[in-house]
Amino acid sequence: MPSEIVSVLSNQPVGEDVFAMELPALHTPKPGQFYMLRREGSALLLPRAISLCRQEGDTLTLLYKIVGKGTAELAAMKPKDKLRLTGPLGNGWPLEELSGKVLLVGGGIGIAPLLSAAKALHHQGNPPDCCLGFPHQPFYHEPFQPYCRALQIATESGVAGQKGLVTQLFDPGQYDAVLCCGPTPMMKAVVDLCKAAGTPVWVSLENRMACGVGACLVCTCTDHQGKNRRTCKEGPVFRGEEINFDP
């Protein structure tokens, strides 16, 4: 697995506690894969798992939200600071299996792994519809626009787009496939709607990770057969119907 020391190219706030970090792309990731990041010399034991948001030429963009010490340390990094970048890791979205009308549903920082999927589908000649939901002020939604057939926004506070939840924006019965990433209750709700409509759905899980390579079992989720699945190794993308969101 590739693991190298790289220099930060840029690291900018793009929303409340949300940052976009640009790094050199030393390998070509698949949409939906992720990276482990650790600042060089960090006193913190574990790296942070961050999804690929986009790749443009030689530059990766990773979008992340400050949720603890690890991500706060990343947010304090400046251009030319060094970090260890491990990856790309995980399986990515099954874009080659998708045909017909595709819907992307993102919530909060969960929009990050959907942007590269939108771009890839657009390049395949099948631009998706996108529904993005935020608690309050939307962020980083403009980069989706060029790749989407239609882009809809929902905010719980009503400051932008439709007031309410992202699940109120679409009818899964109108689609041949749905890709989803966001908070667990939102993904569960989207999977339930898709199941009821008979529409295949894939989710990208954002479980806590430690090793990122399948060795520690910190990231395990459970399927409906009670089988443990490692989010970092067998995921982070799973068929939504398989995952037990209420273990």
Minimum Å gap between C-beta 239 and ligand FES is 19
Site string for ligand FES, 207-236 (x = CB under 6 A): --xxxx-xxxxxx----------xxx----
Range in contact with ligand FES (rule: CB under 6 A) among 54-62, 168-176, 193-201, 205-213: 205-213
Tokens of 1: 């697995």
12: left (phi over 0), alpha (psi -120 to 50) or beta: beta
Minimum Å gap between C-beta 71 and ligand FES is 16
Minimum Å gap between C-beta 236 and ligand FES is 10
Distance CA 77, CA 129 (A): 35
Beta strand 59-65 with 201-204 is unpaired
> Is 235 or 240 the residue whose CB approaches ligand FES more closely?
235
> Is 107 or 235 the residue whose CB approaches ligand FES more closely?
235
**132 contacts 148 by C-beta, under 8 angstroms:** no
The length of the chain, given as a count of residues: 247
Distance CA 130, CA 105 (A): 6
Q: Please tell me the count of residues contacting ligand FES according to CB under 6 A.
A: 13
Residues that bind ligand FES (CB under 6 A): 209-212, 214-219, 230-232
